[in-house]
Chain A
Amino acid sequence: EDQVTQSPEALRLQEGESSSLNCSYTVSGLRGLFWYRQDPGKGPEFLFTLYSAGEEKEKERLKATLTKKESFLHITAPKPEDSATYLCAVQVWSNDYKLSFGAGTTVTVRA
């Protein structure tokens, strides 16, 4: 069974204080590792998909990296508007493209 574990559950940062979120996974045949941002009361917003170990993707203050066992989402010099829950999900090689999600990390950035 695919397992996805995110840590920490919650992260409180001062504005400008960089940090990283972790997503560790145990799957049989990773096809893709997805990161999403979710604001309260809204649907998850797609950020990145990573496909192979060593791959990196960036968007504004966010940078996602992938190894064979885990992915990191680095938040550089965060601002209050980066406060959200960040979700990761794995997709295995199959015909249905379905995702298995971790429970998320809630990030709060104080001004």
Chain B
Amino acid sequence: DAGITQSPRHKVTETGTPVTLRCHQTENHRYMYWYRQDPGHGLRLIHYSYGVKDTDKGEVSDGYSVSRSKTEDFLLTLESATSSQTSVYFCAISESVGDRDEQFFGPGTRLTVL
């Protein structure tokens, strides 16, 4: 499982409240990613990080921000949650050896915004 944990695993919150999801990895991987998964859309990239304090946007970044103050932790924040952000959120890491790449996912966080 590449040592990836996510917390919380489940969360129910109300519209307009801030929410922070945490991804923790234990193997010093440089690249980390946040995806959301919704029926009919597959997995879509929200934000990613290529090092401490180095982050960039993915295809569905509106309404989300991220931070990475240390290698092992990548935080996803919904500043003011909306019902459209109800989803399952997955964190992933990239493990590259030469020009070969494998990507591993965490167990996910199910977020419900009422």
Count residues of chain A with CB under 8 A from any CB of chain B: 25
Q: Looking at chain B's contact residues, is the secondary structure mostly helix, strand, loop, or mixed?
A: strand
For residue B43, CB closer than 8 A to chain A, the reply is yes
Residues of A within 8 A of B40 (CB): 103
Complex interface: stretch among B14-22, B78-86, B99-107: B99-107
Interface centre among A36, A41, A96 (most CB of B within 10 A): A96
A-B contact count (CB 8 A): 57
Interface pair B100/A49, CB less than 8 Å apart: yes
Name the distance in Å between B110's Cβ and chain A's nearest Cβ. Answer: 8
- Which residues of A sit under 8 angstroms from B31, Cβ to Cβ? 96-97
Residues of A whose CB lies within 8 Å of any CB of B are 31-32, 34, 36, 41-46, 49, 51, 87, 89, 91, 95-104
Q: Are B42 and A87 in contact (CB under 8 A)?
A: yes
Q: How large is the interface on B (under 10, 10 to 19, 20 to 34, 35 or more residues)?
A: 20 to 34
Contact call A97/B41, Cβ cutoff below 8 A: no
Binding site for A on B (CB under 8 A): 31, 33, 35, 40-45, 48, 50, 56, 58, 90, 94, 96, 99-108
List, in ascending order, chain B residues with CB within 8 A of A44's CB.
43, 90, 105
Instruction: Select from chain A the residue with minimum beta-carbon distance to B39.
Output: A103
In the A-B complex, the 10 residue pairs with the smallest Cβ-Cβ separation, listed nearest first, are A43-B105, A101-B43, A103-B42, A101-B42, A97-B94, A44-B105, A43-B107, A43-B108, A43-B106, A98-B45
Do B43 and A98 touch (CB < 8 A)?
no
Q: Are B108 and A34 in contact (CB under 8 A)?
A: no
Q: Are B102 and A46 in contact (CB under 8 A)?
A: yes
Give A89's nearest chain B residue, CB to CB.
B43
